[in-house]
Amino acid sequence: MVGTLTLTEDGVDVAVPYLLDDPQFASVQQWFESKTAPSQLLAISTELRMSLFGSRFTHGPLSYSDFSTSEGRILVQEAVMKRWEGDFHAPLLVEEVKSEMDGLHEFSRLSSITRKAISTGEGRDRRNVIDYKVEGVDGLEWTQGQARMKISTSWLDHGGNDIAVRDRSVLTSKFDSPRSFREHLVEHRKFVSLLSIIYGKPIAFRQHDIRDTNVAMKTMDGTIHGHPWTELISRQTIADYSTERPERMELFYALIRMPQLSSKTLSRWGNEYDARSRFLIPLTGLLASRDGYVENTAINAAMSLEAFGKGIATLIDGEAATYDSRNRATTATYVFRGLRALGLSWAIAHSDVGLARAIARNYNTIKHPKGDFPDSLHTKVLGSISVGVARLLALQLVMTVEEYASVETSFPFREAIALAGNNGLFVEEDGTMRDARAASGQSAVTVGASRETAIDE
């Protein structure tokens, strides 16, 4: 059949034109009329061999009665950028997958390039020589569920007369037997979530490659000379490619980097991720968002802290100050458990108790449809603090004491502390936000302690 293959921001699409009721297009017409397009296809052009998997019918036929023609469209789940030698009637299963993603190279501190400058001779006979060596370097390796994970470098030579080598770090997964790309991606996403917590930023995939015995490098006589890494385009991640890459300075404020971590810690992160999803998903979902209201930030971050306090943390000294009149734990209690676990001191709050009350009250005031929303600046400051606390708790849960000592615990609170200081905000022991703007006559809505009787902290 003849068709047009298009790469869109949603993935690979195939448009297939055909003549209605023409015997040579009978099979194609049957695909679209019965909505059962083949799940695997091979695209061939003068310069391209692309294997298409997980194809599904999307719409059609589109009839053009003047010419008795129609066009059907097929959405492709995964596209392998070479010919697949395996069974085309079987689902795509691959041995290894590697992914390039934002921030991984800066996190890993790895480099494929070593440089050595040498000077010989004296005076006019002096010669300066720079010796470059480029080779892949392996970093940490760990087990994550049934997958073996590894961080390493990968480099590309751009050729030409100039020295142009693209150095990058990649995450590789491998199972004991070939698995679907989706199974590999599940494990890669867990690590992406860790990077987003470390940076406090969205982390996007930038490229996927696979290696499998069904993609071979051959000479004309059929001799196999290896199994190269081959790019795979997935409908599940293609939207990441069009997102803006983070600026270099945005990756400067990492809470920790790979040289301070062990394989056991990364293994613990991956293996415990699902069990802690109630705590982690609101946080990682928030960090993955590139835009959002300050109220959304406050809600999601407080949800994570609430889940931590309810499902992970245990009773902690001093929490009774946050109980309600019937001596029961409140939202403020759950937030307090997270704050106290970190053991930080707060220049903008009287104590952990006061800050826990303020965060809980702000969260509940937004969540319940009673009265006005809290002051947006208060919400921004408290939401930013909640995000920072949740990020640190996520790392503390999986790190050793020695590793956590290397975490830059002040980084997550830079913006909140600056905003509070510049605007004269201070959290009192009862959770009330003291606001210098109100004293100076500027517009401000203070979430007062009087709401405590109406809203359970």
pLDDT in tens, the chain (457 residues): 678 888 888 899 888 888 888 888 888 888 777 877 778 888 888 888 899 999 887 766 566 555 677 888 888 999 999 989 888 788 899 999 999 999 999 999 998 888 888 888 888 888 888 887 888 889 999 999 999 999 999 877 766 666 667 789 999 999 999 999 999 999 999 999 999 999 999 999 999 999 999 988 776 777 777 789 999 999 999 999 999 999 988 899 999 999 999 999 999 999 999 999 999 999 999 999 877 789 999 999 999 999 999 999 989 999 999 999 999 999 999 999 999 999 999 999 999 999 999 999 999 999 987 778 899 999 999 999 999 999 999 999 999 999 999 999 999 999 999 999 999 999 999 999 988 776 565 544 443 333 333 344 5
What does pTM read for this prediction? Answer: 0.88
Whether residues 140 and 19 share a domain: the answer is no
Does 216 fall in a domain?
no
Among residues 39, 55, 80, the one where a domain terminates is: 80
The β-bridge partners of 172 are 98, 150
Whether residues 27 and 109 share a domain: the answer is no
Among residues 80, 111, 129, the one where a domain terminates is: 80
- The answer to whether the beta carbons of residues 16 and 74 sit under 8 Å apart is yes
Does 145 fall in a domain?
yes
Whether residues 326 and 446 share a domain: the answer is yes
How far apart CA 227 and CA 367 sit, in angstroms, is 54
Whether residues 73 and 162 share a domain: the answer is no
CA atoms within 13 A on the CB side of 236: 15
How far apart CA 26 and CA 78 sit, in angstroms, is 26
Does 85 fall in a domain?
no
Tell me the residue range of the domain where 431 lies.
274-453
Whether residues 54 and 168 share a domain: the answer is no
Domain count, the chain: 3
Whether residues 289 and 355 share a domain: the answer is yes
- Give the list of residues 6+ apart from residue 310 with CB closer than 8 angstroms, or none: 334
Residue 310 carries which side chain, given as an amino acid letter?
K
Q: What is the DSSP string of 88-99?
A: TTSPP-EEEEEE
- C-alpha pair distances (Å), 233 with each of 55, 239, 373: 13, 11, 44
The β-bridge partners of 17 are 71
Q: Residue 452's pLDDT is what?
A: 36
- The answer to whether the beta carbons of residues 5 and 13 sit under 8 Å apart is yes
- The answer to whether the beta carbons of residues 169 and 161 sit under 8 Å apart is no
Does 223 fall in a domain?
no
Does 155 fall in a domain?
yes
Q: Residue 388's pLDDT is what?
A: 98
Does 234 fall in a domain?
no
- Give the list of residues 6+ apart from residue 337 with CB closer than 8 angstroms, or none: 308, 309, 313, 314, 316, 319
- The answer to whether the beta carbons of residues 322 and 309 sit under 8 Å apart is no
Whether residues 291 and 401 share a domain: the answer is yes
Whether residues 125 and 60 share a domain: the answer is no
- The answer to whether the beta carbons of residues 14 and 73 sit under 8 Å apart is yes
